[in-house]
């Protein structure tokens, strides 16, 4: 790539999605690409989340790419360092490191209608990169900030966000508060009670908790996977179908939902003897409405002598701690905010300006939407990974992401092979897709009344896909040009539905 020639593909983000996209581009013979990463290392979410106990609640065989298998996972469920190591190994195995531009924070992505190219600008850099196609692979869990709790700026103690862990802080002998009881908190609390003098866990809403059995993988199994890769593929398929069946109990409110809740209640009763504590930890919403939690360590940690569960609502943060609604001030030396990420349910993760000067953040201000999660009308040659309504409630996000990557890399291949100027999804097709999607979402547990990070403030679900993983993958099995407006490089009139073809993946 010269300083003046445009890239064929610009990938924004060097996490799971960006690295996976680069691998599939290379496997399909597309080599003129670069990855722009704001940090100094790859890894995305798994680079940022290094808090004690950080791990994935999806089995490792399934939380990895089928096109880049890893026979050496150490346990059923991997910790953050091992997952990060897997991402780094993919970078090296597929020779991607020379293609990554570290320290490039995107400040703007703008479509130039005169040239049919995207211009990308970066913080502190004069150079503008131009590209024929852009893949926004920054991910939904890439931005984190402290919650907007009154008085948070007045607190004089130490503050830590779970996604920006302070490894230099010594918890020994400290009074610690943990705000939140979600997926990060249930991993952090068991680690903190082993170090801190006291830990107070501030719970807004209890979650449904299922046991997590994390067995080590023996060497014979690893050798089998190395020598016969088909066996690892079969193991992955087994985990996939096992998780796929869970959809019947958590995506929709069915008799199997009661089964999931019964398992969670049995787990609670087995691990927590105190009836009042069990009552405090029992949700008042259906399983699946919020994210299911997978842990066998959280409940025992709450019952340690140095740990207390606080269920009164937080009124404000004071200079010395947390003041709850009944007027008690809990004085602490450190507050750990396990309050999640700024998920892009509304607005856009980076500034994007499309055709006719339209701004994606404005169009998404009341809730994000896209065509099959990967494309948005008015933004030609721009593709998303893990875009709106691509979240699974029961299966591996990487299964969904892999389907998106295969789809968008095939679309990019079509643009390059046919020398198209633009490939832009039709608005009527996009609107029809989203109307059906929201109708289906209305019948899911996520839209059944509880508050969760899946929904915007007014209840719009821009996050989850209302169905099985197999359904999600099937909708992305081929690029149907009838759903797009195609323009040739000679700037001939747009072709809407003409020369209709279905381009299979591969």
pLDDT in tens, 287-316: 999 999 999 999 999 999 999 999 999 999
Contact 129, 5 (CB under 8 A): no
Strand partners, 33: 9
Please compute the mean of the pLDDT values over residues 11-30 and round it to a whole number.
97
Q: Distance between CA 417 and CA 423 in Å, rounded? A: 12
Please compute the mean of the pLDDT values over residues 134-140 and round it to a whole number.
87
Please compute the mean of the pLDDT values over residues 261-278 and round it to a whole number.
97
Percent of the chain with pLDDT over 70: 93
pLDDT number for residue 495: 38
CB-based contacts of 84, cutoff 8 Å, min separation 6:
43, 46, 47
Q: What are phi and psi of 165, to 5 degrees?
A: -70, 140
Is a pLDDT exceeding 60 seen at residue 458? yes
Is a pLDDT exceeding 80 seen at residue 1? no
pLDDT number for residue 21: 98
Number of Cβ within a 10 Å radius of residue 158: 15
Nearest to 377 by CA among 491, 483, 500: 483
pLDDT number for residue 203: 96
113-127, 138-152, 167-181: range with lowest mean pLDDT: 138-152
CA 447 from centre of chain: 19
pLDDT band at 142 (very low <50, low <70, confident <90, very high): low
Is a pLDDT exceeding 50 seen at residue 381? yes
- Report the greatest alpha carbon distance in the chain: 74
pLDDT band at 343 (very low <50, low <70, confident <90, very high): low
What is the per-residue pLDDT across 74-129, written as a single tens digit (0 to 9) for each? Answer: 999 999 999 999 999 999 999 999 999 999 999 999 999 999 999 999 999 999 99
The Cα angle at residue 167 between residues 172 and 307, in degrees rounded to 5: 40
Is a pLDDT exceeding 70 seen at residue 327? yes
Is a pLDDT exceeding 50 seen at residue 496? no
249-253, 322-326, 446-450: range with lowest mean pLDDT: 446-450
Please compute the mean of the pLDDT values over residues 46-54 and round it to a whole number.
92
Structure token pair of residue 322 = 């947390």
Is a pLDDT exceeding 70 seen at residue 171? yes
pLDDT number for residue 454: 86
Structure token pair of residue 448 = 């059944």
What is the per-residue pLDDT across 350-376, written as a single tens digit (0 to 9) for each? Answer: 999 999 999 999 999 888 999 999 999
Q: Distance between CA 382 and CA 374 in Å, rounded? A: 8
Q: Distance between CA 356 and CA 354 in Å, rounded? A: 6
At 21 the three-state DSSP class reads: helix
- C-alpha distances (whole Å) from 242 to each of 221, 441, 469 are 20, 23, 12
* Cα within 13 Å of Cα(290), Cβ side: 18
Percent of the chain with pLDDT over 90: 86
pLDDT band at 490 (very low <50, low <70, confident <90, very high): low
pLDDT number for residue 455: 87
Q: Distance between CA 364 and CA 6 in Å, rounded? A: 28
Mean pLDDT across the chain = 92
What is the per-residue pLDDT across 390-439, written as a single tens digit (0 to 9) for each? Answer: 999 899 999 999 999 999 999 999 999 999 999 999 999 999 999 999 99
Q: Distance between CA 423 and CA 405 in Å, rounded? A: 16
pLDDT number for residue 66: 95
133-147, 210-224, 270-284, 463-477: range with lowest mean pLDDT: 133-147
Please compute the mean of the pLDDT values over residues 30-46 and round it to a whole number.
96
Nearest to 132 by CA among 115, 149, 146, 144: 115
Work out the burial of residue 114: count CB atoms within 10 Å of its CB; fewer than 13 is exposed, 13-18 middle, 19 or more buried: exposed
Structure token pair of residue 426 = 């039709």
Work out the burial of residue 459: count CB atoms within 10 Å of its CB; fewer than 13 is exposed, 13-18 middle, 19 or more buried: exposed
Nearest to 122 by CA among 135, 102, 106: 106
The Cα angle at residue 292 between residues 288 and 296, in degrees rounded to 5: 150
Taking the C-alpha atoms of 172, 173, 179 and 183 in order, what is their torsion angle to the nearest 10 degrees? 40
């Amino acid at each position: 790539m010269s300083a003046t020639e445009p890239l064929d593909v610009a990938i924004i983000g060097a996490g799971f999605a960006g690295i996976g996209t680069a691998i599939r581009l290379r496997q399909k013979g597309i080599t003129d690409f670069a990855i722009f990463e704001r940090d100094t290392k790859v890894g995305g979410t798994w680079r940022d989340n290094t808090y004690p106990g950080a791990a994935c609640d999806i089995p490792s065989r399934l939380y990895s790419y089928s096109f880049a298998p890893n026979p050496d996972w150490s346990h059923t469920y991997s910790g953050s360092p091992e997952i990060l190591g897997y991402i780094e190994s993919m970078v090296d195995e597929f020779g991607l490191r020379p293609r990554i531009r570290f320290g490039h924070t995107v400040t703007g992505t703008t479509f130039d209608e005169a040239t049919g190219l995207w211009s990308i600008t970066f913080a502190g850099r004069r150079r503008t990169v131009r590209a024929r196609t852009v893949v926004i692979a920054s991910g939904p869990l890439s931005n984190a900030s402290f919650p907007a709790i009154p008085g948070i700026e007045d607190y004089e103690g130490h503050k830590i966000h779970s996604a920006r862990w302070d490894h230099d802080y010594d918890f020994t002998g400290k009074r610690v508060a943990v705000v939140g009881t979600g997926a990060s908190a249930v991993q952090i609390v068991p680690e903190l009670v082993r170090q801190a003098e006291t830990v107070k866990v501030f719970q807004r809403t209890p979650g449904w908790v299922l046991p997590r059995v994390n067995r080590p993988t023996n060497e014979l199994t690893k050798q089998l996977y190395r020598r016969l890769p088909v066996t690892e593929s079969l193991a992955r398929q087994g985990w996939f179908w096992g998780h796929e069946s869970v959809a019947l109990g958590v995506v929709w409110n069915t008799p199997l939902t009661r089964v999931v809740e019964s398992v969670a209640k049995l787990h609670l009763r087995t691990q927590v003897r105190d009836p009042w504590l069990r009552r405090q930890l029992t949700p008042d919403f259906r399983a699946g409405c919020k994210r299911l939690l997978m842990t066998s360590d959280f409940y025992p940690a709450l019952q340690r002598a140095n740990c207390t569960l606080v269920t009164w609502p937080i009124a404000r943060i004071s200079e010395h701690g947390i003041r709850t609604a009944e007027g008690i001030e809990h004085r602490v030396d450190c507050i750990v905010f396990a309050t999640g990420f700024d998920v892009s349910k509304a607005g856009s993760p980076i500034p994007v300006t499309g055709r006719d000067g339209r701004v994606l953040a404005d169009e998404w201000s009341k809730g994000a939407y896209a065509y099959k999660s990967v494309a948005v009308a008015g933004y030609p040659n721009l593709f998303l990974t893990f875009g709106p309504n691509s979240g699974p409630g029961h299966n591996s996000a990487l299964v969904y992401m892999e389907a998106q990557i295969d789809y968008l890399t095939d679309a990019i291949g079509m643009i390059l092979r046919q020398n198209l100027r633009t490939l832009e999804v039709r608005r009527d097709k996009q609107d029809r897709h989203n109307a059906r999607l929201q109708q289906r979402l209305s019948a899911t547990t996520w839209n059944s009344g509880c508050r969760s990070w899946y929904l915007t403030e007014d209840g719009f679900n821009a996050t989850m896909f209302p169905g099985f993983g197999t359904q999600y993958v099937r909708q992305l099995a081929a690029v149907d040009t009838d759903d797009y407006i195609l323009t040739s490089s000679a700037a001939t009139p747009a072709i809407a539905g003409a020369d209709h073809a279905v381009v299979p993946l591969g």
